[in-house]
Amino acid sequence: MHFSRTTIVTISLLLLSSCGGGGGSSVSTAPAPSGDTPTEPVISVAQAHRFLRQASFGPTPAEVDNVRNIGFEAWIDQQLLQTPSLQLPYMDDLAEPENNREGQTNRLDAWFRNALTGEDQLRQRVAFALSQIMVVSDQSSLFNFPNGLADYYDELTLHAFGNYQELLKAVTLTPAMGLYLSMLGNQKPDKAMNIRPDENYAREVMQLFSIGLVMLNEDGSTILDQDNQPVPTYDQSIIEGFAHVFTGWTFYGSESFNQPSYIFRLPMVAFQDFHDGGEKRLLNEVVLPAGQTAVDDLDAALENIASHANVPAFISRQLIQRLVSANPSAAYIGRVAAVFIDDGYGTRGNLSAVVKAILLDPEARAEPADANSGKLTEPLLRLTAVWRAFDASAANNRYLFAYPEFSFSQAPLRADSVFNFFRPDFAPPGEISKLGLVSPEMQITNETTSVTVNNYLALAIFLQHSAVVEKDEATIYIDIESELALVDQPQALINQVADKLLGGNISEQLRSETASMMAHWDTQAGKVVEAIHMIATSPEFAVLR
Amino acid sequence: MNYTLQRRKFLKLSAALSALGLIGGPGLIPLARSAEFTGYKCLVNVFLLGGNDSFNMLVPRSDAEYNVYAASRQNLAIAQEALLPISPLNSDGVLYGFHPMATGLQGLFESGDLAVVSNVGPLLEPVSKDDYLNGNTLLPPQLFSHNDQRNQWQSLRGTTNLSTGWAGRIADSLADDLSGQMLPTNISTSGNSRFQSGDTTSPYTVNNSGASSYAAFRRNAEYGPERQASFERQLTNGFDNIHSRALADVHSRSLLYADLINDALRLVPELNTPFPESRLGRRLRIVARLLAVKDEFEVNRQIFYITTGGFDTHNDQNQDQPDLLMDLGDCLLAFQTAMTEIGLSDQVTTFTQSDFGRTLTSNGDGTDHGWGGHQLVSGSAVLGQRVFGTMPSLEIDGADDVAGGRIIPTLSADQYAATLANWFGVDDSSLDQIAPNLAAFNLRNLGFMA
């Protein structure tokens, strides 16, 4: 199923005019407890819901109950033990794709499957966050290698609760990253030919994946020099040092350095003859001695990066931004960075401890402090939240969605460049900019994309629900049966939809507007999907407080 | 659509949305027309994402200079005889040629509609190689970094925290004179950018066929108008969170301008001039179509922002660069032809920017991040068929190379911007607000605009 922008609009128009008529059988809701009134859990529906919007691809009623029953920390501990859901094994079980486009669609199928149905929700969410910090993209020669990208994503998934330095090494040695930032095939200098090592990976691994451009305090604030200017973390000579480190690597199983095997599923290997043997200047005045092997140089260089003082705050801040809030306080960043530095058992870079610290921090758990709190939800995560809340599925048991980026300006491993869909410091002109705050997701929010996001949601809700009579086996339908059962009680119906999408936090205005719009309809399904659409396309739903 | 009707419809919606303060700021609410700008001028920024290797785009053909070039570039050098010859009116005594695939650029140059501005880049003050090596000069922070140098080109912020872009500041500074415009001065085909961010004005984004409109609000959608009215009530009621407010602001502008734009575009569904079916071609085509119906918007000054990517040629440069430069040339030529078709060729000026030039040295099959590079300016108001500025030495470790073939710019991005802004209508006295580092340079205007 390939949707172009125009098709989506056209289809949605057609079906908007013809939807309704569904009716649907009544489905019993949970029975009211009889006998002893059980004690209300300490955690409210709203609190559990907000937590799950931070920690998963969208709350479901069952997961909200689970969090309320066992508590935030126990839920995280449960998640840490879940088996990782991977992409490659699933893709291997599918029929051989006919072309690379179909292969990429299979890859997205695997991603949606894990995001929507994986039991390891927290791991999947963290992997998605990491995929936007350590970026590779199929908008490159990697388009031809869907399995290579899936392998990359699986590495992120496997290391999401592991150690940062091991993650950095895994990322560095994936052939996908090797191709994307041209470390693969990078070779020692040839002065006569004016050939020097490629600086691409050397630069971006520092600028984007680990330490950033300027020296940071432990709380993420910028260190300023006597002229009030930021202090650079490195200069060109250090980039050249790392560029020389990253020489000599290519695909595993290659007959020679210049005859690549294109084996993507195993880490790259070094050909010593193509590795530079000189000294290399690294961070913190470290100089690698001449004559080391490519492997020893690489290990020492990654250790050098991972132990830099910037890493804890630089990575912690971005993970907080992906999961919880756009503008975490310095104290919040500092608390998380402290856990990054030492997880309590003397280990640096323990990502499971970091994630736990992010989600259990008072700033993440307390009621939203003020108007500046929270974040704009990533557009793609609005869709997954709707699909998870209403248990969306297709008859063919697949999630065939070839071009999410046309509507949502993002898709897994599909950024325009290594700078991701948006930058952590993006501030839209106006109020946010004037306050000195940021709203990264606003970088992909403009007069075009704000419409295309809502148009896709309109399609996914108005046209693709369980009461549609003539179903297509590849279309993903939301399940509205339990809402249809409430259709004679509009307020109860609105409450249920508001519980699913907003944790019950619906403004009086949105409630009354939703009721008015529902009242236009004389079909049961019409009333239900109108209510879901009203809430799912509201600015209230788009923002995670 | 009938002109008066269009305006009445626009004013009605505009008033509805501005009543509660949602649509604000100069340039958004039509006020009395100003007499200041009666004519029309337009700037089109074609931003080459990734850093264009422009030292392979324009190459010396004279033997001595070519040999220096070839010795530096080695396996990335373009063959001397393959270069497309040009005949600049302001010759420096050296023969030059465009990249063999850049036939569009050669054609535009030779017909007088294209100028090259040589070796320009972000600078805070003139920089000599000695000053650079001794640390005796002010430099833009984070040279050679993509997003930082792109930010410099777009914001000209230097070492300050300036968050606006120079097109945003132009729109801010002309806001009073342009208050009658029915569209924001800044329009993007490529999403949000620093370039167009203003302090009091916001840019507006179109897609490749015009404005996106809400499927659920259409007349033929069941209860579409009611649903739109409901959505507008939500927007005007306001929100108690900065992110909600920012999003609501964007939604309001989507609602405000979509019909205006799409109704106007129906008047001129297609131009006769064909455009290449590339990302850049499609984006330039929608700009050309919007310009064809510009009178519907009552605009006197517009700035468009278009990006095209793929220029970060760390590897496979010899495979990728020919397509990139062919596309760039073909697209700029098509756009200029389209401007002639609609009679705006001397009122619309197109110019390139890019993250940085690239290293003269190779990393085997590609190049790394450099500094200075050549930029292109096209349109009939351009003093075309000329190369402005001084060609740098292309010798590795030569007079202009700070190391590894990274060339020190001889002209600054501020001078480049100021020259365009001045043509656009910014007073000389206001140029320093647009280009904050301009005072550090002798020439306030590079002279490439008629």
**Residue A38 clears pLDDT 90, i.e. is over it:** no
At B269 the pLDDT is 86
**Interval B422-443: pLDDT, tens:** 999 999 999 999 999 999 999 9
Beta-carbon neighbour count of residue A396 at 10 Å? 12
Asked if the Cβ–Cβ distance from B251 to A539 is below 8 Å, we say: yes
Q: How confident is the model at residue A1 (pLDDT cuts 50, 70, 90)?
A: very low
pLDDT over threshold 50, residue A6: no
> What would the DSSP string read from start to end of A90-117?
HHHHSPPPSSHHHHHHHHHHHHHHHHHH
Q: Please answer whether residues B202 and A429 qualify as being in contact, where contact means their C-beta atoms are separated by less than 8 angstroms.
A: yes
The chain B residue lying nearest A9, using CA atoms, is B215
Cα–Cα nearest to A242, from A206, A277, A189, A269? A206
- Where residue B318 falls (left for φ over 0; alpha for ψ -120 to 50; beta otherwise) is alpha
Lowest mean pLDDT among A6-10, A59-63, A281-285, B285-289: A6-10
pLDDT at residue number A2: 43
CB–CB of A451 and B214 under 8 A?
Answer: yes
- Interface contact B242-A199, CB threshold 8 A: no
- What is the predicted pLDDT for the residue at B321? 98
Contact across the interface for B147 and A419, Cβ inside 8 Å: yes
Q: What angle do CA B256, B259, B263 make, to 5 degrees?
A: 150
- B204–A416 CB contact, under 8 Å: no
pLDDT higher than 90, residue B17: no
Three-class DSSP category at A224: strand
Distance from the Cα of A517 to chain B's closest Cα (Å) equals 7
d(Cα A486, Cα A27) in Å, to the nearest integer?
Answer: 9
At B8 the pLDDT is 56
Share of chain A above pLDDT 90, in %: 92
Record: contact B233-A445, CB cut-off 8 A: no
Output the DSSP codes for B318-345.
HHHHHHHHHHHHHHHHHHHHHHHHTT-T
Question: What is the pLDDT at residue B13?
Answer: 59
Overall CATH class of domain B33-129+140-211+267-440: alpha beta
CA atoms within 13 A of residue A407's CA, in its CB half-sphere: 27
**pLDDT value for A37:** 58
Query: What chain B residue is nearest to A14 in terms of C-alpha separation?
Result: B221
Crossing angle of helices A449-458 and A379-389, rounded to 10° = 10
B251-303: per-residue pLDDT in tens? 999 999 999 999 999 998 899 999 999 999 999 999 999 999 999 999 999 99
In angstroms, the CA A460 to CA B215 distance is 12
Cα–Cα distance, A377 to A534 (Å, whole number) = 17
How close does chain B come to A398, measured CA to CA in Å?
A: 26
Q: Which residue of B has its CA nearest to A244?
A: B363
A13 neighbors B220 (Cβ within 8 angstroms): yes
pLDDT value at residue B193? 96
A-B contacts at Cβ under 8 angstroms:
244
Looking at the complex, report in whole angstroms how far the Cα of residue A193 sits from the nearest Cα belonging to chain B: 6
Compute the distance between CA of residue B243 and CA of residue B255 in angstroms, rounded to an integer: 19
pLDDT value at residue A369: 76
**Closest Cβ opposite residue A454 in set B214, B222, B224:** B214
Mean pLDDT, range B176-185, rounded to an integer: 92
For chain A, give the percent of residues with pLDDT over 70.
Answer: 93
CA A325 to the chain's CA centroid: 14
pLDDT in tens, A290-303: 999 999 999 999 99
The pLDDT value given to residue B277? 97
Asked if B234 and A539 come within 8 Å (Cβ–Cβ), the reply is: yes
Going by C-alpha positions, the residue among A368, A367, A352 that lies closest to residue A76 is A352
Residues of chain B contacting residue A462, judged by C-beta atoms under 8 Å apart:
216
Token representation of residue A50 = 């907000």
Q: Which residues have CB under 8 Å from B390's CB, separation 6+?
A: B92, B118, B119, B410
pLDDT at position A28 is: 36
For A234, which residue in chain B has the nearest alpha carbon? B142
Q: pLDDT value at position B12?
A: 59
Answer whether residue B367 shows pLDDT above 70.
Answer: yes
The beta-carbon neighbor of B233 closest among A182, A433, A513 is A513
Cβ–Cβ gap A203/B247 under 8 Å: no
Across chain B, mean pLDDT equals 93
The answer to whether the CB atoms of A517 and B204 lie below 8 A apart is no
CB contact under 8 A, B247 and A539: yes
What average pLDDT score do residues A404-432 get? Answer: 97
Give A283 or B33, the one with higher predicted confidence: A283
**Domain-by-domain residue ranges, chain B?**
33-129+140-211+267-440
pLDDT for B155 beyond 80: yes
Out of A195-209, A529-543, B32-46, B304-318, least confident range: B32-46
Partner-chain contact A196 B243, CB within 8 Å: no
When pLDDT is averaged across residues A224-242 and rounded to a whole number, the result is: 96
pLDDT grade for B38, boundaries at 50, 70 and 90? confident
* pLDDT tens figures, A260-290: 999 999 999 999 999 999 999 999 999 999 9
What is the identity of the amino acid at A270? A
**Which of A403, A460, A405 lies closest to B191, judged by CA?**
A405
Residues of A in contact with B404 (CB under 8 A): 196, 240
Closest Cα of chain B to A316: distance in Å? 21
Task: For A507-522, write each residue's pLDDT tens digit.
Answer: 999 999 999 999 999 9
Task: Flag whether pLDDT at B307 surpasses 90.
Answer: yes
With cut-offs at 50, 70 and 90, classify the pLDDT of residue A96. very high
* Subunit contact B314:A198, Cβ cutoff 8 A: yes
Residues of chain A in contact with residue B160, where contact means CB-CB under 8 angstroms, are none
List chain B residues with CB under 8 Å of A433. Answer: 163, 197
Give the tokens for residue A281.
């200047």
pLDDT of residue A368: 86
Using a CB-CB distance cutoff of 8 angstroms, which residues of chain A are in contact with residue B207? 5, 448
Nearest residue of chain A to residue B151 (CA atoms): A426
Write the CB contacts of A310 (distance below 8 Å, at least 6 apart in sequence).
Answer: A210, A211, A212, A215, A216, A233
Of B164, B203, B366, the CB nearest to A182: B366
pLDDT of A36 reads 54
| Cβ contact B191–A449 (<8 Å) | yes
Closest-approach residue (CA) in chain B for A434: B199
The amino acid that residue A378 corresponds to is E
**Which of A445, A446, A455 to substitute to test the interface with B, most B CBs within 10 Å?**
A446
Contacts of A195 in chain B (CB under 8 A): 74-75, 361-364
- Name the residue among B73, B192, B368 with its Cβ closest to that of A446: B192
How are beta strands B348-354 and B41-48 bridged, if at all? parallel
CB nearest to A198's CB, from B250, B364, B396: B364
DSSP calls for B76-140: GPPPGGGSEE---TT--S--EEE-TT-HHHHHHHHTT-EEEEEEEE--SS---HHHHHHT-S---
Looking at beta carbons, which residues of chain A come within 8 Å of B401? Answer: none
Q: Where are the beta strands (DSSP E) in B10-86?
A: 41-48, 58-60, 84-85
pLDDT of amino acid A152: 98
For the residues of A124-149, what is the DSSP string, one character each? HHHHHHHTTTS---SSSGGGG-HHHH
Q: What mean pLDDT value characterizes chain A?
A: 93
Structure tokens at A406: 């046309």
CB-CB under 8 Å, B230 with A455: no
Kindly determine whether residue A429 and residue B199, on different chains, have CB atoms separated by under 8 Å: yes
CA separation, residue B29 to residues A31, A170, B39, B296 (Å): 55, 54, 20, 16
- Residue A166: pLDDT band by 50, 70, 90 thresholds? very high
Distance from CA of B279 to the nearest CA of A (A): 13
Tokens 């019950």, residue located: A504
Q: Which residue of A has its CA nearest to B406?
A: A236
Q: Which residue of B has its CA nearest to A326?
A: B243
| Element housing A516 (H / E) | helix A508-519
The answer to whether the Cβ–Cβ distance between B230 and A513 falls below 8 Å is: yes
- Which pLDDT score, from 0 to 100, does residue A23 have? 36
Q: DSSP of A17-65, one letter per residue?
A: HH-----------PPPP-SSPPPPPSS-HHHHHHHHHHHSSS--HHHHH
pLDDT over 80 at A14, yes or no: no
C-alpha span between B328 and B335 (Å, rounded): 11
Q: Distance (Å, rounded) from C-alpha B316 to C-alpha B214?
A: 42
- Contacts of B415 by beta carbon, 8 Å cutoff, 6+ apart: B120, B435, B438, B441, B443, B444, B445, B446
Q: Is the pLDDT of residue A26 over 60?
A: no
- Dig out the tokens for A449 from the structure: 């994309």
**Rounded mean pLDDT, B110-124:** 98
C-beta contacts of A334-342 below 8 A and 24+ residues apart: A334/A218, A334/A219, A334/A220, A335/A361, A336/A312, A336/A361, A337/A218, A337/A219, A337/A220, A337/A312, A337/A313, A338/A218, A338/A312, A340/A164, A340/A311, A340/A312, A340/A313, A340/A315, A340/A316, A341/A218, A341/A312
- Tell me the pLDDT tens digit for each residue of B202-256: 999 999 999 999 999 999 999 999 999 999 999 998 899 999 999 999 999 999 9
Spell out which residues of chain A touch residue B312, defining contact as CB-CB under 8 Å: 417
Q: Which residues of B touch A440 (CB under 8 A)?
A: none
Q: List, for residues A459-481, the tens digit of each pLDDT value.
A: 999 999 999 999 999 999 999 99
Q: What phi and psi values does residue B310 have, to the nearest 5 degrees?
A: 100, 5
What are the counts of helices (DSSP H) followed by strands (DSSP E) for chain B? Answer: 12, 12
Which of A356-360, A428-432, A498-502, B385-389 is least confident?
Answer: A428-432
